[in-house]
Amino acid sequence: MQTTTALLQVLSSGIGTGAVYALVALGFNVVFKSTGAMNFAQGEWVVMGGMVTALLIGTFSSVGLAVVAAVVLVGVVGLLSERLTVQPLKRPDALVITLVTIGLSIVSRSLVMLVLGKKPVGYAGFSGNTALSFGGVSIQSQTLWIIAITLAFLVVMHAFFERTILGKALRAAAADREAAAIVGVNVGSTVLLSFGIAALAGALAGAIVTPLTLASYDQGAIFGFKGFSAAMLGGLGSLPGAVVGGLALGLLEAFGSFYISSDFKDAIAFAVLLLILFVRPSGLLGRADIVKV
Amino acid sequence: MQFGRRSFLKMVPAAALTATGTGTVAGLWSSAARAAEPLRVGSILSVTGPAAFLGEDMKAGLELAVDEFNAAGGMGGRKIEWTYYDAESQTQKGITATRRLISQDKVEVILSGGNMSGIALAMAPITNAAKVPFISSEGALAIVTPVAERQYVFKSTVDDGDVLERIADYLDKKKIKKVALIADTSGFGQGAVGQMKIVGPKRGLDVMYESFAPSDTDMMPQLTRIRDAGAEAIICWTVTPAGVVFLKQAQQLGLDKKTLIHSYGFVSADYMKLAGDAANTLLLASLKLPVGDQLPDSDPLKAGILKLMKAYEARFKRPASIYAAESYDAALLAREALKKVGGDVSKLTQGMEQIKDFPGISGVFTFSAERHSGLSKQDIVLVNWRDGRFNLADYA
């Protein structure tokens, strides 16, 4: 019964989900690189992206404009969050920042609930709710949009980190804060920037996935959890790692629930995640930290 | 002088009472005082968290009932004093709040248990041990079974087994044998799976089972399996937005040409709007409330439903949902039970067990000492979503 078309169907669904996980993982990685901390508010920004887009769609009438406006708006929320919670820290070490972001996520969730409401929201896909059929394999046009937009965003991010002064400064600060500060990099602003980028990536993920899945204020934790797992799987701090980790997790979930059992979908995905981390503690593409003692 | 006179006046009735103070008079006086004392009713609702959309409606249903009853003299001759706590969709918070209702607020009846089966299931043994009658407006059958351990617990909702029987009746009519049940992993979804494993074989259905997490955003693998297995009808069991994802992805795979059925947990205009044209062919096994105006006049529920709809809409500026009706029914049942035992709260459970063929809003209730769940499959109809509203599609 498990024909090739069924296999391709599951494959396409895994890639679509994986692309979203990759964007969320990217947000984790950017903040990890600049601060060494896990940003647990990442998932809330995904929800905000979807819910703000849904709110703005009435005003802008075009989905594209609403998405751009929502992503920029949530990006600003990311910047504000850093200024209000991380920057005032006297001793901003990784553990303290991680703990602060847990608080930030709870506050963000409550604000989303109070400002944007408790009801799940959704909107039509960027090319309507159409599905394309490729020889028996049916793919939502929105899934193709997700894959294309994720790819485009990753290319832009890659160019940013490799080509621009700002991107290089961010990488320099990530590699060695003190050395970067000595050569004139404003280390404080690189942390700010990384929060902004992380919020952009999260909001974009939320805005493009909402037509398929709806958005409601309480989904943030699960998105954060999946994105965090994807980042771990791919290797923390690595941009290609986010892509590999996201896709791997998406495919694991899809094939796990297809071939084994949908009852144990998450269990299968996380069992494999644990196994990989036993063998490669730094993730698939991560480089092991070498500490001289 | 003034002070003296006032204290003198105050003392007169007291002195008179002491003077004529025989046992009977004192007894009458204190029982009158007790009757004037309000009836303490408590509720646990989840007005925040994932189940919040149910909680808001259940809270509204109770508010309406309390105010209506109080305007008409209260319950069992006493005004209602209503206290509720938010369980935030968390079982632990629900348990803490229940203990608080019992020990601190000393409530005499509890109506509604957190609008999540999981919370109500945890509350049932606590209220039972405290001998505080608890009328649950949550779904799971295990809330009121086994009756020997749940003497003080009743529920105002329909049983999943009855709903599945009703769906099986419909499938019989359509000569459908091969069915898939895709349920979420919550207590609500898995409860239905357990019941289907009883109802399915009994009714000669060939059932395949799939599940999904309430937070799932993708069900293609499960639906692809269902498509390949050739199921003719797919029943989805959830109250979460994931049910919309189910509809959209089923449509994507062309499964909307099969018979798609959602349970009574999904009868929500908001969900239907979010699903858009993916809900065009959908049937929902629902209570009669959403199609109250389309019921034949002979239906015993029609008048009550229309009355509640009108009062609810006037007060809350939105149409009443089946969840609002479930909590309203819990209050209605408590009042009816008290009527049967002359307003004596200590006998409320006996009163509940005497309720027979009592038309509420959700259905016609009949309880007994053996059965603490009052509805039957006759209270379920199949509805569809057309022209922006629910419509009666299959009536008994």
Token readout for A190 is 């690189």
B188 compared with A106, residue with greater pLDDT: A106
- For residue A12, which residues of chain B lie inside 8 Å, CB to CB? 220
Whether residue A228 lies inside any domain: the answer is no
- For residue B251, which residues of chain A lie inside 8 Å, CB to CB? 131
For an interface test with B, the pick among A118, A123, A143, A268 (most B C-beta atoms closer than 10 Å) comes out as A118
φ/ψ of residue B47, rounded to 5: -95, 0
Q: How many Å apart are CA B216 and CA B205, to the nearest integer?
A: 28
Count of Cβ atoms closer than 10 Å to residue A177 Cβ: 17
pLDDT at B136: 96
Closest residue by Cα to residue B140 from B152, B158, B123: B158
Q: Measure in Å the smallest separation between the Cα of A201 and chain B Cα atoms.
A: 18
Q: How many Å apart are CA A247 and CA A252, to the nearest integer?
A: 8
Q: Which residue of B has its CA nearest to A261?
A: B210
CB atoms A129 and B248 under 8 Å: yes
Residue B368 DSSP SS3: coil
Would an 8 Å CB–CB cutoff place B53 in contact with chain A?
Answer: yes
Q: Measure in Å the smallest separation between the Cα of B299 and chain A Cα atoms.
A: 33
Would an 8 Å CB–CB cutoff place A274 in contact with chain B?
Answer: no
pLDDT digits (tens, 9 = 90+) for A188-233: 888 999 999 999 999 999 999 999 888 988 889 889 999 999 999 9
Find the helix or strand (DSSP H, E) in which B136 lies: strand B134-136
Residue B105 DSSP SS3: coil
Would an 8 Å CB–CB cutoff place A229 in contact with chain B?
Answer: no
Closest residue by Cα to residue B311 from B319, B302, B323, B301: B319
- For residue A51, which residues of chain B lie inside 8 Å, CB to CB? none
Residue B55 DSSP SS3: helix
CB atoms B220 and A254 under 8 Å: yes
CB atoms A10 and B253 under 8 Å: no
Spatial contact of B331 and B84, defined as CB atoms under 8 Å apart:
no
Q: Which residue of A has its CA nearest to B229?
A: A1
Would an 8 Å CB–CB cutoff place A137 in contact with chain B?
Answer: no
DSSP 8-state secondary structure symbol assigned to residue B142 = G
CB atoms B218 and A140 under 8 Å: no
- For residue A138, which residues of chain B lie inside 8 Å, CB to CB? 252-254
Alpha helices in B74-181 (DSSP H): 91-103, 117-129, 160-173
Location of structure tokens 């799932």: B216
- For residue B49, which residues of chain A lie inside 8 Å, CB to CB? 218
Query: pTM for the full model?
Result: 0.80
- For residue A214, which residues of chain B lie inside 8 Å, CB to CB? 241, 244-245, 274
CB atoms A6 and B224 under 8 Å: yes
Report helix angle A220-234 to A94-116, nearest 10.
Answer: 150
Count of Cβ atoms closer than 10 Å to residue A59 Cβ: 9
For an interface test with A, the pick among B190, B219, B220, B256 (most A C-beta atoms closer than 10 Å) comes out as B220
pLDDT digits (tens, 9 = 90+) for A171-196: 888 888 888 889 888 888 889 999 99
φ/ψ of residue B336, rounded to 5: -60, -40
- For residue A213, which residues of chain B lie inside 8 Å, CB to CB? 217-218, 241, 245
Whether residue A104 lies inside any domain: the answer is yes
Spatial contact of B274 and B281, defined as CB atoms under 8 Å apart:
no
Whether residue A250 lies inside any domain: the answer is no
Q: How many Å apart are CA B122 and CA B125, to the nearest integer?
A: 7
Location of structure tokens 């001793």: A91
Whether residue A241 lies inside any domain: the answer is no
What are the b/e assignments for A109-145, b being 16+ CB within 10 Å?
Answer: beebbeebebbbbbbebbeebebeeeeebbbbbbbbb
CB atoms B245 and A121 under 8 Å: no
Give every CB contact of residue A276 below 8 A, 6+ residues apart in sequence. Answer: A233, A283, A284
pLDDT digits (tens, 9 = 90+) for A144-177: 999 999 999 999 999 998 899 988 888 888 888 8
Residue B333 DSSP SS3: helix
Cα-based torsion angle of the residue sequence B16, B18, B21, B25 in order, rounded to the nearest 10 degrees: 60
φ/ψ of residue A276, rounded to 5: -65, -40
Distance of CA A180 to the CA centre of its chain: 27
Nearest to A9 among B217, B224, B270 (CB): B224
Whether residue A275 lies inside any domain: the answer is no
pLDDT at B4: 44
CB atoms B276 and A124 under 8 Å: yes
Nearest to A9 among B220, B244, B274 (CB): B220
> How far apart, in Å, are the Cα atoms of B210 and each of B124, B222, B249?
29, 6, 15
Q: Measure in Å the smallest separation between the Cα of A274 and chain B Cα atoms.
A: 21
Average pLDDT over residues A278-282: 84
Whether residue A177 lies inside any domain: the answer is yes
Q: Which amino acid is at A265?
A: K
Mean pLDDT, rounded, of chain A: 89
For an interface test with A, the pick among B252, B271, B272, B318 (most A C-beta atoms closer than 10 Å) comes out as B252
pLDDT at B12: 43
Count of Cβ atoms closer than 10 Å to residue B100 Cβ: 15
Whole domain around residue A96: which residue ranges?
22-220
Closest residue by Cα to residue A225 from A249, A248, A201, A207: A249
What count of CB pairs under 8 Å joins A to B? 89
Q: Which of residues 302-361 of B touch A (CB under 8 A)?
A: none
Q: What is the ipTM of this complex?
A: 0.79
Q: Measure in Å the smallest separation between the Cα of A283 and chain B Cα atoms.
A: 25
pLDDT at A288: 63
CB atoms A262 and B277 under 8 Å: no
Nearest to A222 among B215, B244, B252 (CB): B215
φ/ψ of residue B19, rounded to 5: -65, -45
Q: How many Å apart are CA B310 and CA A246, to the nearest integer?
A: 51
CB atoms B185 and A17 under 8 Å: no
Instruction: Please give the tally of structural domains in chain A.
Output: 1
DSSP 8-state secondary structure symbol assigned to residue B330 = H
Spatial contact of B181 and B203, defined as CB atoms under 8 Å apart:
no
CB atoms B252 and A131 under 8 Å: yes
- For residue B228, which residues of chain A lie inside 8 Å, CB to CB? 1-3, 6
Is the backbone peptide bond immediately before A281 cis, with ω within 30 degrees of 0? no
Nearest to A218 among B49, B225, B244 (CB): B49
Nearest to A212 among B50, B213, B217 (CB): B217
Q: How many Å apart are CA B129 and CA B373, to the nearest integer?
A: 19
Would an 8 Å CB–CB cutoff place A122 in contact with chain B?
Answer: yes
Alpha helices in chain B (DSSP H): 2-19, 23-36, 52-71, 91-103, 117-129, 160-173, 187-202, 220-229, 242-252, 269-275, 302-316, 322-340, 348-354
Q: Which of residues 78-117 of A touch B (CB under 8 A)?
A: 113
Would an 8 Å CB–CB cutoff place B48 in contact with chain A?
Answer: yes
Would an 8 Å CB–CB cutoff place B228 in contact with chain A?
Answer: yes
pLDDT digits (tens, 9 = 90+) for A121-145: 989 888 887 888 887 788 888 999 9
Whether residue A136 lies inside any domain: the answer is yes
Whether residue A3 lies inside any domain: the answer is no
What is the mean pLDDT of each successive set of 10 residues along chain B, which is 396 residues long? 44 44 45 69 90 88 96 92 94 95 96 92 95 92 91 94 95 96 89 94 96 86 93 94 92 92 91 91 95 94 96 94 94 96 93 96 96 94 94 90
Token readout for B264 is 């009574």
Read out DSSP for chain A? ---HHHHHHHHHHHHHHHHHHHHHHHHHHHHHHHHS---TTHHHHHHHHHHHHHHHHHHH-SHHHHHHHHHHHHHHHHHHHIIIIITT-SS--HHHHHHHHHHHHHHHHHHHHHHH-SS-B----EEEE-EEEETTEEEEHHHHHHHHHHHHHHHHHHHHHHHSHHHHHHHHHHH-HHHHHHTT--HHHHHHHHHHHHHHHHHHHHHHHHHHH-B-GGGHHHHHHHHHHHHHHH-TT-HHHHHHHHHHHHHHHHHIIIII-GGGHHHHHHHHHHHHHHH-TT-SSPPPP----
Q: Measure in Å the smallest separation between the Cα of A208 and chain B Cα atoms.
A: 13
